[in-house]
Amino acid sequence: MARVRAKVWFLGGGPGAPDLLTVRAARVLTEADIVIWGQSLLSEAAVTEYASEAAELIPWPPAKMPDIYAAYERAAREELVVARLYWGDPAIYGAVRAEAQEARSRGLPVEVVPGVSALGAAAAALVRELTAAPEDPPPLILTTPRKDPLPNQRIRDLASHGATMALFMAGKRGEDLQTELLAGGFDADTPCAVAHRVTWPDEQVLTCRLGDLAHTMDDPELERHTLVLVGPALDGESAAG
């Protein structure tokens, strides 16, 4: 069957390891004329292992959004297939909607392929089920620290629910997070996990208590794209072993 031309695929690239791309995402990469990917978040091997030798690779950075939109314009004009790789799953802090609108405004159809989230990768490394409980599964809140959060979306407000929380892009915010989570009602003994570059060769998955979170995250290697887990799903012994 002839492949569809002039299209943009938004692919979940997974947390970094090349073999955590989905079969569908790998197939799209083999057929793409242009591959756009975030080299600071995805292993280059995740691209080069599957992309065609004839494909044009556009890493960002150094590419910027105008460069990406220019690639969409060229794809529409020359009937090319674009594979746009996102870190993890595009549905979680992927900014897919804005880019899909840009692609559609140029007459390009779009399709999204889900991927393995960093959240799933971190839970796997910890051997945890984040909604596990004997009878009543605790809620799970996904959020990210913001400079100017909307009303009732401050970390302390969300922490007041007592749910397990997954805080994306939390690197270099350890002290603020510890203060906010304690102010929201979590005890200093609440278990936490700090996951950085999970599934990469240099991954770090650290566990601590909330009272030690700021100290645990006081590491220049734990840059912005670090995930913090905190709450009741981390209680008890891990199933690892």
The CATH number of the domain holding residue 19 is 3.40.1010.10
Of 113, 140, 169, the domain-final residue:
113
Q: Same domain, yes or no, for 199 and 177?
A: yes
240 within some domain: no
Q: Same domain, yes or no, for 88 and 49?
A: yes
Q: Same domain, yes or no, for 66 and 164?
A: no
Answer yes or no: is pLDDT of 135 > 80. no
Of 91, 113, 135, the domain-final residue:
113
168 within some domain: yes
The 10 Å CB-count burial string (b at 16+, else e) for 106-117 is eebebebbbbbb
Q: For the chain, how many structural domains are there in total?
A: 2
Q: Same domain, yes or no, for 109 and 181?
A: no
Give the pLDDT confidence of 60-103 residue by residue, as tens digits.
Answer: 889 999 999 999 999 999 999 999 999 999 999 988 999 999 99
Give the pLDDT confidence of 142-170 residue by residue, as tens digits.
Answer: 999 987 777 778 999 999 999 999 999 99
Nearest 5°: the CA angle 168, 100, 48 is: 70
Q: Same domain, yes or no, for 42 and 65?
A: yes
Smallest Cα–Cα separation from 38: which of 78, 95, 110, 77?
95
pTM: 0.89
Residue 98, both tokens: 């804005």
Q: Same domain, yes or no, for 130 and 102?
A: no
Answer yes or no: is pLDDT of 241 > 60. no
Q: Which residues contact 167 (CB under 8 A, 6 or more apart)?
A: 143, 144, 145, 155, 177, 227, 228, 229, 230
- CA 149 – CA 155 distance, rounded (Å): 9
Q: What residues are paired with 35 via a beta bridge?
A: 57, 83
Answer yes or no: is pLDDT of 2 > 60. no
Q: Same domain, yes or no, for 28 and 47?
A: yes
| Confidence band for 238, pLDDT divided at 50, 70 and 90 | low
131 within some domain: yes
Domain that holds residue 45: 7-113
Q: Which residues contact 172 (CB under 8 A, 6 or more apart)?
A: 217, 222, 223, 224
